[in-house]
Structure 1
Amino acid sequence: MLKLKNQTFLVPNHGILRLPLFSTAAAVTNTTAVPAQPHFPRTLDPKFYVNVLLCSRNIFHIRQVHAQVTANGMLQNLTVANKLLYMYTQQRVLGEAYALFSGMEEKDAVSWSVMVGGFVKAGDYTNGFATFRELIRGGVSPDNYTLPFVIRVCRDLMDLQMGKLVHGIVLKHGLVSDNFVCAALVDMYAKCRVIDDARQLFDNMQSRDLVSWTVMIGACAECRNADEALVLFDRMVDEGVLPDKVAMATVVNACAKLGAMHKARLVDDYICRNKFSLDVILGTAMIDMYAKCGCVDSAREIFDRMHVKNVITWSAMIAAYGYHGHGRKAIDIFEMMLSSGVSPNAITFISLLYACSHSGLIEEGLRFFSSMWDEYAVRADVKHYTCMVDLLGRAGKLDEALKLVESTALEKDEGLWGAFLGACRIHGNVDLAKKVVNSLLELQPENAGHYVLLSNIYAREGRWKDMSKMRDLMTQRKLKKIPGLTWIEVDNKIHQFSVGDRSHPWSEKIYAMIKSLNEKLELAGYVPDTNFVLHDVDEEVKLGMLSSHSEKLAIAFGLLATADGTPIRITKNLRVCGDCHSFIKFVSAITQRVIIVRDANRFHHFKEGACSCGDYW
């Protein structure tokens, strides 16, 4: 007999469950019933009890029905018992649900599915897995209701080993052809970063519905293969599968990750032609898409067209201005949000502080940070402190930034220390950088970026022996530097360049263009900054290395392959270096081209020899 303790009780082979407090004096079990309410008729019609359960609005009604069916002997009816079990799990009263389940003399696939699903939906993955294991051991065939729940757990936990075991069970029971199950497996493999297995499953599906397409498109986008995600979207439409708003939001997110303006315009046109309304989800995704494709004005147009905006929408627009260095406009949007009656949340303040940091608005950032709790009851977390360290560090206030870090009782993560290390790099403070790196290496000893950043700081100071030691340490630990890559979209195709790249079909023309540009830029006053060549070689070699940076190759190609007067948009996976920043300013002046650069931190808009960042980045 199950006893109510408001503590824990053991379930055979299922670990430990936590019982909630009941407001009644005793728990309903399979042997003990709460006295029936007088208005319930004594009937043996199972449909009656099923209908009553469907009308039940809360747990007290459900318990009353449970008491009545127990008193009338109807608990032996599997349909009634399953419906009662389902209602308990819907209310997330898992203690009573499992008591009922374990006392059922007869269980079918529905019973097991409901119990497994109940645990999973409540976030009790341990008991969900355990119940599924008992289902398999008991010889019950899992169905397309149970398996997606279990696969979702593997996805959320990123437990690839368990996911593969469940995949084996799917194959054993011949359910790999089921769209719901297969889509769940595709999603699981994608979240576990095994994109090839996800794609193989998807390609082998006998029929693909909208859910399957949406999952695969989202998987490609999440695994940084946004170009393939957009190819899949085109295929989906060609095969006659019409997207819904969820699918369109997924495609819009893929465009945002890719940063390809042409594709963003095509997706926007498709949304307009098919008359998708700009609700909060789709509209907010489009704001983010245009912002990350380098067109903050288009993002604002979408924002202004939206009739309904929530705090996420407002935060996205604030973040959009922050990416592009428009700190004052971000503050204006924040004040508009307050005037509209929408209260800011933690994400809003991250976007706002980021915008202040990248625009040099120190006093404003400090004011917003101090007002978070006092005025808006938003508690600062480590991400807010990271923004403040970045704000103070960029302004050269390293001592204040360090005091802020040391003053917080929050657990410091790699983002916080990384922001401080970046500030040390900007201002050449080697001693502080060494202290910070020690903290970073304790948190992430396998992150090559930390070693590279410190070695670059040593190189900037001409401390070649110290730099060499860091590089040797990377070699010993088998760590590799992330290569610098730059992308440019031309004629609806993405072209990729790396430093010193000569693999492009137009390679000879590109290097000839760079040579011609260098000659013109020198006449205009450009002086290459060889301090950004972090190798101990002579000046002539340094000049050659500077000329082959990936962003310069991409811009040269853009000048060759696009019409005069049109903007050039490039994306780089790392921070743009100081010499390339100066180079692009001069190129924008002598070619009369607008050049938009998206790097790892922000956007730079170059026009007529100036950059939107004001050389503050």
Structure 2
Amino acid sequence: MASLAGGSPSMPAQKPPLDPRSVINWQAPWRLKSNHDHPAVKLLKISAGTKNLKFGKIIHAHLLVSNQASENNVVENNTLLNLYAKCGQLSGAQRVFDGMRMRNVVSWGTLMAGYFHAGFCSEVLELSRDMVKVDNLRLNKYVLSTVLSSCAGDGLYCKGQQCHVYAEKSGLIFNQHVKNALVCMYSMCEDVEGAMKVFNGVPGLDIFTYNSLLTALLEHGSLSEALDVFRKLLEADVEWDGASYVGVLGLCACLKDLKLGSQVHSRMLKSGFNSDMFVNCAMIDMYGKCGEITKARKAFGSLKARNVVSWTAILAACLQNECFEEALKLFFEMETDGVRPNEYTFAVLLNSSASLSAVAYGTSLHAHIEKVGYEDFVIVGNALVNMYSRNGDIELAYSVFAKMRSRDPITWNSMISGYSHHGLGKEALTVFRDMLAAEEKPNYVTFIGVLSACGHLGLVEQGFYYLNHSMNMLGIEPGLEHYTCIIGLLGKAGQLDEAENFMRSMPVKWDIVAWRTLLNACHVQWNYHVGMRAAEVILQMDPNDVGTCILLSNMHAKFKRWDGVVKMRKLMRERNIKKEPGLSWTEIRNNTHIFIAGDNKHPESVQIQKKVRELLAEIKPLGYVPDPASALHDVEEEQKVDYLTFHSEKLAIAYALMKTPPNAPIRVIKNLRICDDCHSAAKLISKVTNRLIVIRDANHFHTFRNGICSCADYW
């Protein structure tokens, strides 16, 4: 047999295609050797292992030309099957298979594996049935593992259960490959109980089983079961690998168990896995989710080599710990290092810019994403919808949503909740109906947005229908967030007594947010007595709750009970409860301008205050009358009007009108609840200037257009 290198020193530098005749003496009596030692079989195995289909086809062709290919040679044909299957040439594999007069379990198993790896899981099950019926063969451990994996990949849960029964009857259940495949099948079909039953019922599990089950349980949020698997992993006499550390660190992250995570970190260092990139990324993620951003930074800084996965991990840790600006700065360092972002990187950056309300940065990121071709990734689309929604541009959020080629539950939930936060209940319910029409199953989060939308529209009966019927039909247990939405719904409808009775009669452990929802509704609906009772409950739960103290003081002032205002202010001084100063800010050409009521520190404060006076003069003919009650101070009416004139919202709107093109939308963020007077003024300013004005306050988005607000004057 000639050398595989072939050729001679005198040959040209560019070698001609390899001629199999230079490799093998094709007239040699191959049939005298055993099938497994056959030179053709060996070369076909090499071709399959290296996925060199071209060379394998040459071997196959010469077998056919020299009449040495045999329909009855099972080993040779199985090797050919393996070549075509591994190279993804299913049509070629099927032709070889169909031409075989003699087939064994390996023949069927090889073809099934080819179809499985190509993603044709249903075809694998059909082949397994034909194998039993046509050739009267029994499934072995390898074939059964492939069939189980196909059931998992295609969600064929019932077929997988039948295979489980077969495994128990045949005794294959005790084979390691079969056990692993069963655990994976149940896990991927979201049957945690079934996976745990196999795990606990069959002895002798290996590290792959632990890793697979732990990963699946974490993906499905089954933390108690994952913790049980972890305890058994500690007791088992198996050596951890990199996947084990990734899974266990992921568990620590989900549990936010810093102590356990630190112990795993120590074990990792002793075991020498500190150079594993994926393990290090899992460690960064763990520290980030446990609130230890400093340790996450240290772990990242200790990496000798950094790739896009590690950079994205530290960016995500910054996002989780509200270090949004740092995340954006790190991205510039990442680009300087020459590391290209992936879809997950862009998702983190978009969510960071959403939290900062940095709409200009988010928009530039969107342009960059389109340029590099990542806009079709679902995770990126979801982040874009979230970014535009939270930056007050719900129209652009929907534009992104409408263009997405594929959507997941997060996509639908983001759009529904986005519309709800903007007070657009009708649009939110329309998207919900579209979600049902698309046969996407709603989840726990979906109904928070849906019930919130019902609240904006005051649809009491429909809201209770969703709570008591739709969620029950889908097997979704209502939680505190859903019940709090119901309180908001009853409050919007003016049914405050019913809301209070609902809270006192339901066996729900209400939190401060729920009671404050009722208190806020009482403030809007001018119901002093129910509001006082709600405030009393909140202050019993947290005597130093700043928001409640301020809202209670505002209610006393609204009803001109100045003795109550004085009492609350005295109480706040005694308890050292300080009201957060009201701030409003707007972004102009990538620069953020912050305003405080009566602010004189801005370089253009004189011009801004002049612009405010001009705007108020313009809207007075339309019916604007300063609302002294919004000042909430026990002072003379004239002083209250002066105080109202230069509220931070008005200053920000005026400055944005001065510095933006005539048709550009105005976007303002307020750290507290917008006052009634500024709300009335903003509506009329949007009309006289023909501008879209979006104000995001502590409670809602307010979209002012042509004298109307999206909140329908309820916030």
- TM-score between both structures, scaled by the size of structure 2: 0.65
Could you tell me how far 1:349 is from its partner in structure 2?
Answer: 3.0
Given the superposition, is the C-alpha separation of residues 204 and 498 from structure 1 closer, same or farther in structure 2, using an over 3 Å criterion?
farther
Q: Tell me the equivalent position of 1:294.
A: 392
| AA in 1 matched with 2:342 | D
Give yes or no for contact 1:393–1:401 (8 Å, CA) kept in 2: yes
Matched, 1:563 2:661: yes
Which residue among 372, 387, 390 is the counterpart of 2:485? 387
Which residue among 231, 235, 242 is the counterpart of 2:340? 242
- Deviation string for 1:306-329 (max 9, x for gaps)? 333444433433333323333333
**Partner SS for 1:601:** coil
Could you tell me how far 1:594 is from its partner in structure 2?
Answer: 2.0
Q: Distance in 2 between matches of 1:404 and 1:127?
A: 39
Give yes or no for contact 1:88–1:96 (8 Å, CA) kept in 2: no
Matched, 1:316 2:414: yes
Q: Distance in 2 between matches of 1:120 and 1:348?
A: 23
Q: Distance in 1 between matches of 2:636 and 2:263?
A: 58
Give yes or no for contact 2:385–2:415 (8 Å, CA) kept in 1: yes
Q: Distance in 1 between matches of 2:240 and 2:443?
A: 42
Q: Distance in 1 between matches of 2:573 and 2:262?
A: 34
Q: Tell me the equivalent position of 1:259.
A: 357
Matched, 1:419 2:507: no
Give yes or no for contact 2:258–2:290 (8 Å, CA) kept in 1: yes
| AA in 1 matched with 2:339 | V
Q: Tell me the equivalent position of 1:435.
A: 533
**Partner SS for 1:317:** helix
- Deviation string for 1:418-459 (max 9, x for gaps)? 221111111232321232233334555554323332232223
Q: Tell me the equivalent position of 1:397.
A: 495
Q: Distance in 1 between matches of 2:593 and 2:661?
A: 17
Which deviates more, 145-154 or 530-539?
A: 145-154
Q: Distance in 2 between matches of 1:113 and 1:339?
A: 39
Identity between Structure 1 and Structure 2 (%): 36
Could you tell me how far 1:579 is from its partner in structure 2?
Answer: 1.3
Could you tell me how far 1:540 is from its partner in structure 2?
Answer: 4.4
Which residue among 187, 195, 203 is the counterpart of 2:285? 187
Q: Distance in 2 between matches of 1:177 and 1:237?
A: 23
Could you tell me how far 1:295 is from its partner in structure 2?
Answer: 2.3
| AA in 2 matched with 1:189 | Y
Q: Please list, as runs of the form range in 1=range in 2, the aligned pairs for 1:142-541 lying within 5 A after superposition.
A: 145-163=243-261, 179-203=277-301, 205-276=303-374, 278-362=376-460, 364-365=462-463, 368-369=466-467, 371-372=469-470, 379-444=477-542, 447-475=545-573, 477=575, 479-501=577-599, 504-522=602-620, 525-541=623-639
Q: Distance in 2 between matches of 1:141 and 1:341?
A: 44
**Partner SS for 1:614:** coil
- Deviation string for 1:174-206 (max 9, x for gaps)? 866654344334323332334344345445544
Q: Distance in 2 between matches of 1:336 and 1:65?
A: 46
Given the superposition, is the C-alpha separation of residues 503 and 395 from structure 1 closer, same or farther in structure 2, using an over 3 Å criterion?
same
| AA in 2 matched with 1:601 | N
Matched, 1:595 2:696: no
Q: Distance in 2 between matches of 1:482 and 1:379?
A: 37
| AA in 1 matched with 2:421 | Y
Give yes or no for contact 2:420–2:452 (8 Å, CA) kept in 1: yes
Q: Tell me the equivalent position of 1:586.
A: 684
Q: Tell me the equivalent position of 2:190.
A: none
Q: Distance in 2 between matches of 1:583 and 1:445?
A: 35
**Partner SS for 1:589:** helix
Which deviates more, 116-125 or 338-347?
A: 116-125
- Deviation string for 1:540-577 (max 9, x for gaps)? 44344434433233223322332333111122233222
| AA in 2 matched with 1:423 | A
Given the superposition, is the C-alpha separation of residues 547 and 144 from structure 1 closer, same or farther in structure 2, using an over 3 Å criterion?
farther
| AA in 2 matched with 1:605 | T
Which structure ranks higher in relative contact order (CA pairs < 8 Å, sequence separation ≥ 6)?
1
Count of aligned pairs: 547
Given the superposition, is the C-alpha separation of residues 66 and 608 from structure 1 closer, same or farther in structure 2, using an over 3 Å criterion?
closer
Which deviates more, 118-127 or 245-254?
A: 118-127
Structure having the larger proportion of residues in helix = 2
| AA in 1 matched with 2:362 | A
Could you tell me how far 1:113 is from its partner in structure 2?
Answer: 9.0
Could you tell me how far 1:608 is from its partner in structure 2?
Answer: 3.5
Q: Distance in 1 between matches of 2:541 and 2:317?
A: 29
Give yes or no for contact 1:151–1:184 (8 Å, CA) kept in 2: yes
Q: Distance in 2 between matches of 1:392 and 1:553?
A: 35
Give yes or no for contact 2:512–2:538 (8 Å, CA) kept in 1: yes
Q: Distance in 2 between matches of 1:87 and 1:343?
A: 27
Q: Distance in 2 between matches of 1:245 and 1:307?
A: 16
Q: Tell me the equivalent position of 2:158.
A: none
Give yes or no for contact 1:284–1:316 (8 Å, CA) kept in 2: yes
Could you tell me how far 1:529 is from its partner in structure 2?
Answer: 1.8
Could you tell me how far 1:234 is from its partner in structure 2?
Answer: 4.3
Which deviates more, 172-181 or 298-307?
A: 172-181
| AA in 1 matched with 2:372 | N
Give yes or no for contact 1:323–1:603 (8 Å, CA) kept in 2: yes
Could you tell me how far 1:351 is from its partner in structure 2?
Answer: 1.7
- Deviation string for 1:487-540 (max 9, x for gaps)? 322212334444455554544544454355445555665332221223333444
Q: Distance in 1 between matches of 2:145 and 2:478?
A: 44
Q: Tell me the equivalent position of 1:553.
A: 651
Given the superposition, is the C-alpha separation of residues 163 and 539 from structure 1 closer, same or farther in structure 2, using an over 3 Å criterion?
farther
Q: Distance in 2 between matches of 1:502 and 1:185?
A: 48
| AA in 1 matched with 2:285 | D
| AA in 2 matched with 1:320 | G
Give yes or no for contact 2:353–2:362 (8 Å, CA) kept in 1: yes
Give yes or no for contact 1:318–1:352 (8 Å, CA) kept in 2: yes
Q: Distance in 2 between matches of 1:232 and 1:566?
A: 31
**Partner SS for 1:404:** helix
In structure 1, runs of 5+ residues without a counterpart are 1-38, 40-48, 69-79, 105-109
Give yes or no for contact 2:183–2:213 (8 Å, CA) kept in 1: no
| AA in 2 matched with 1:448 | V
Give yes or no for contact 1:187–1:216 (8 Å, CA) kept in 2: yes
Given the superposition, is the C-alpha separation of residues 379 and 116 from structure 1 closer, same or farther in structure 2, using an over 3 Å criterion?
closer
- Deviation string for 1:28-82 (max 9, x for gaps)? xxxxxxxxxxx9xxxxxxxxx99899769587859957968xxxxxxxxxxx9xx
Q: Distance in 1 between matches of 2:473 and 2:213?
A: 44
- Deviation string for 1:455-498 (max 9, x for gaps)? 32223223344334444544555555444433322212334444
Q: Distance in 1 between matches of 2:703 and 2:472?
A: 37
| AA in 2 matched with 1:186 | I
Q: Distance in 2 between matches of 1:490 and 1:175?
A: 48
Q: Distance in 2 between matches of 1:219 and 1:505?
A: 37
**Partner SS for 1:596:** strand
Could you tell me how far 1:269 is from its partner in structure 2?
Answer: 2.0
